[in-house]
Amino acid sequence: MKKNYSICVLDAFTSNPGDLSWDALRQFGELQVYERSPEEKVIERAKDADILLTNKVILDEDLIKKLPRLKYIGVLATGYNVVDIHAAKAHNIVVTNIPAYSTDSVAQMVFAHVLNIYNQVQYHAQEVKKGRWSGCRDFSFFDKPLMELKGKTMGIVGLGRIGMATAQLALAFGMEVIALTSKTKDDLPAGISPVSEDELFRKSDVLSLHCPLTPENKGFVQKEKLALMKTGAILVNLSRGPLVNEEDLAWALNNDRLYAAAVDVLSKEPPCSDNPLLAAKNCYITPHIAWATKEARARLIAQAVENVRAFVEGHPINRID
């Protein structure tokens, strides 16, 4: 096995802000790790690399043409739209991704959001800190609705790994589960029913998105579909920001057409200050962290190492080229 590869990690910080290690990559050669790589620095840092690892740094056709030594691109994520796959293939560059590393973490985050909304955990904890419980005449106080999940309907768009893990958690809470999926009833576990798109929007008390972004479904959650939903329903998007028309979602929230929304992804990240969801009523936004538990990031780095190992040994795995 050749061990003198030049390896460069272009944007290491989000995957590993310092609590994990990239050192396992050193067994394959010389390693350079950069926390972040601004566009004007990418060619300088990548020009001598045989192996490049990237999370969000874009490797387009023009840049790939300028990297004649490059033999391998490892995407430090499941989605791989940051790489021009056709250009990589034309230059005989192997491209891999990291599948399924964050399944349990993302499914867990769905219910972190849902339970926060149903039980108003954050709100009441903040009110206690303000002294409202200390000054209360009763042993308990609550001034926002508190609800149970049992018996409610969980709608899921997409039953891949994350969608299925979310469905199993919903079943454990005693929810009914319906899904927009290409799978038939016979293909699905007990308790999960396939439905049409309109039926999904109409029936869901909680609607969670778990599908890849395609040209066909970009912005498909828009005013017409949101208007079908129950006024007490919740929309959850931990998948891809552009699946949702953000202006329409803000309209639905601000006009009480929807009870709440929980989103971990936005159409532009970081968001512009005028993103309508930032000021929308009952919109709970987290900064794209559903994937980022330490356990998930450790799996990501471990799989990245195994992807590189397989490449240098001549039998690449998790190829997307």
Taking the C-alpha atoms of residue 304 and residue 252, their distance in angstroms, rounded to an integer, is: 41
Element (H, E) at 52: strand 51-54
Q: Is 315 a catalytic residue?
A: no
- Residue among 251, 304, 300 at smallest CA distance from 280: 251
Are 276 and 299 in contact by the 8 Å Cβ rule? The answer is no
Tokens of 268: 């532009």
Taking the C-alpha atoms of residue 304 and residue 297, their distance in angstroms, rounded to an integer, is: 10
- Say if residue 231 is exposed, middle or buried (CB neighbours under 10 Å; 0-12, 13-18, 19+): exposed
Active-site choice (35, 61, 148, 269): 269
C-alpha distances in Å from residue 96, one per residue of 16, 81, 248, 295:
19, 12, 36, 21
Q: Which amino acid is at 56?
A: K
Q: Which amino acid is at 226?
A: L
Q: Is 26 a catalytic residue?
A: no
Taking the C-alpha atoms of residue 81 and residue 218, their distance in angstroms, rounded to an integer, is: 14
Residue located via tokens 């991704």: 97
Q: Is 240 a catalytic residue?
A: yes
What torsion do the CA atoms of 162, 165, 166, 170 make, to the nearest 10 degrees? 170
Active-site choice (240, 257, 297, 299): 240
Active-site choice (30, 288, 306, 309): 288
Bridge partners, residue 7, by sequence: 31, 51
Question: Mind telling me the catalytic residues?
Answer: 240, 269, 288
